[in-house]
Chains A and B, each alone.
Chain A
């Protein structure tokens, strides 16, 4: 009996593939690990050379990220002993905490704008994709191409017109302005991805619902939406990742109330020297929501990416 099989890889192939996956994982995860470790280092450890792999972890970076601090006289420090663990960390540098930093606020802005624009992109994208998929729309192909063509240039190419327009409309540095902007960029992706997913859902399901006494819209949200959940989840992840990480427009159009985390994190560098642990801590926290969102939807995402590749 030969052990040859068409579908089953040989031991050597498996071993090789496994090694490649591990090497690739190491390469991509090393910078992440570096950032996360730096977040727990002291400023001295963070810039030491050669880099320290073993170090004494400290929450200094995180405290610095979330607070603003000022230097105080020795008399003041002696009169006011530290009350909390984070104050103790700051005291080592003869500082006191003056108040919370803007990071929490900026992070919240990122959440509002990122999830808000994702939600809007998905709602509008699903409705548009459904219409393109199911109804006879005059010039449907041309419209779809037009929608896609908005992605053919880097969005930042239109930064100046948008900047001027937003100033006129009073949308500069507002949550609504940023949500609309990211939605406008994401919607083409959403329509195209979702149309593919909805095309895969047999029309008979909706027709059965129509026959069973439901209206077109009821059939859409009771039958089509649950079927499209996979596609919606993966599209949502793509939209969120874009809106979450977007930097150029955020720098240009926001400065205060609606500033998101990406343009804020680099500004930490300027406050009292190069505070790498605080920057790293900010980056680590910034990564979490997308990570959690992706992990929650990962089943859908995996199915979503391979969706339509195999005929069921």
Chain B
């Protein structure tokens, strides 16, 4: 098992830049998520680690060894494909044996190893079946088996649950995480599903438009977004952006929003012009006496909580409140925000302003 370091990696396809100078470190044994919308460069990054694409520039270290220009066969990295890519002309056993046969392992050892892995994944009874007739879940298990059978240094997974139906995906993601914890193998997992990333990942890299937007633990990324893109992409409903114009001084602890002063984490960076007041739905409180007021446009009942859509003087916002609380459409309510959880952004660049809250996190991005 191994640590993977991505250093200033860049990939161009002709005139198109798929990945711009990206750097991050995947620690040994981590379950690492590459998250982003489609076309953001996350799969290209994964393929560069595996050796299916060679970076235009930059270095990739696996276990301290520079591997960026090596063929995949010399990297000892396993890959689970989105569509599984099981060899269709072979049965399950042959599929699982294939990576071992290439290493010239003795036939008896191959058999033993394949059976061991099949036992771990619970697919012993389908070993002699052709892969064509297998269910999605079994295909997934065979694909995983083919990856773990040769004890590689690291696993690459390209949306491995994307081809499964929703119900089974939940089950499989638990199984996958359990398997990872059991083997302790460094795993890099590509997904566009922020929930999946939050649930399963030890660390997340959020990518957008070929750029790494932020890199950190799920909590850091959720609580301390480095950019408006991350704040918007992570969380459902996503973070509210209340636009305002003004000036924030270095060391300020409040901002003027709609004529009212609202508390913010102590700022460590001054800014002025078009700014954004970013607040998560669960950090908006409804209070009858609040001076900052908004009108309720809609409510969505979700069981324990409800989402209410509000028209505020600074734009539309969504709040997550207890479902016991009464909220009627058309009503005007006072709003307050949890000051320590607020992030300010620069509207033009989308970058978060440095504050007590996110200090130390932003430098990761």
Contacts and interface: CB of A to CB of B under 8 A. Distances in A.
Given A204-B81, A214-B73, A209 B98 contact: yes
Nearest to A210: B72
B69 to A, nearest CB: 15
Interface in B103-137: 103
Contacts of A210: 51-52, 71-73
Chain B interface SS verdict (over half): loop
B272 interface: no
A215 interface: yes
A226 B51 CA distance: 24
Contacts of B146: 208, 212
B102 to A, nearest CB: 4
A209 B79 CA distance: 10
Interface string B73-110: 10001110101011111000000001100110000000
Interface in B159-216: none
Given A211-B50, A213-B73, A227 B79 contact: no
B77 A212 contact: no
A205 B88 contact: yes
B73 A205 contact: no
A283 B277 CA distance: 89
A116 B72 CA distance: 37
A97 to B, nearest CB: 52
Given A211-B52, A211-B79, A214-B73, A204 B102 contact: no
A289 B87 CA distance: 34
Chain B interface residue bracket vs A: 20 to 34
A155 to B, nearest CB: 36
Nearest to A208: B85
B99 A212 contact: yes
Contact of B73 (A202, A204, A215, A227): A215
Contacts of A223: 87
Given A210-B72, A212-B146, A202 B83 contact: yes
A94 interface: no
Given A223-B87, A227-B88, A227-B89, A208 B81 contact: yes
B206 to A, nearest CB: 26
B79 A208 contact: yes
B52 A207 contact: yes
Given A213-B99, A213-B102, A213-B103, A208 B73 contact: no
Given A210-B72, A211-B72, A204 B99 contact: no
Nearest to A204: B85
Nearest to A216: B71
Nearest to B74: A213
Interface in A164-218: 202, 204-205, 207-215, 218
A212 B83 contact: no
A205 B79 CA distance: 12
Contacts of B71: 210, 215
Given A204-B83, A204-B85, A205-B87, A212 B98 contact: yes
Contacts of A226: 89
Contacts of B86: 208
Interface in B27-55: 50-52
A262 to B, nearest CB: 38
B116 to A, nearest CB: 18
A238 B357 CA distance: 72
18 contacts: A202-B85, A205-B87, A205-B88, A207-B72, A207-B79, A208-B81, A210-B71, A211-B73, A211-B78, A211-B79, A212-B73, A212-B98, A212-B99, A212-B102, A213-B99, A214-B73, A223-B87, A227-B88
Interface of A: 202, 204-205, 207-215, 218, 223, 226-227
Interface of B: 50-52, 71-73, 77-79, 81, 83, 85-89, 98-99, 102-103, 146, 150
Enumerate the 8 nearest inter-chain pairs by beta-carbon distance, A residue then B residue, closest first.
A204-B85, A213-B102, A212-B99, A208-B85, A211-B79, A226-B89, A213-B73, A210-B72
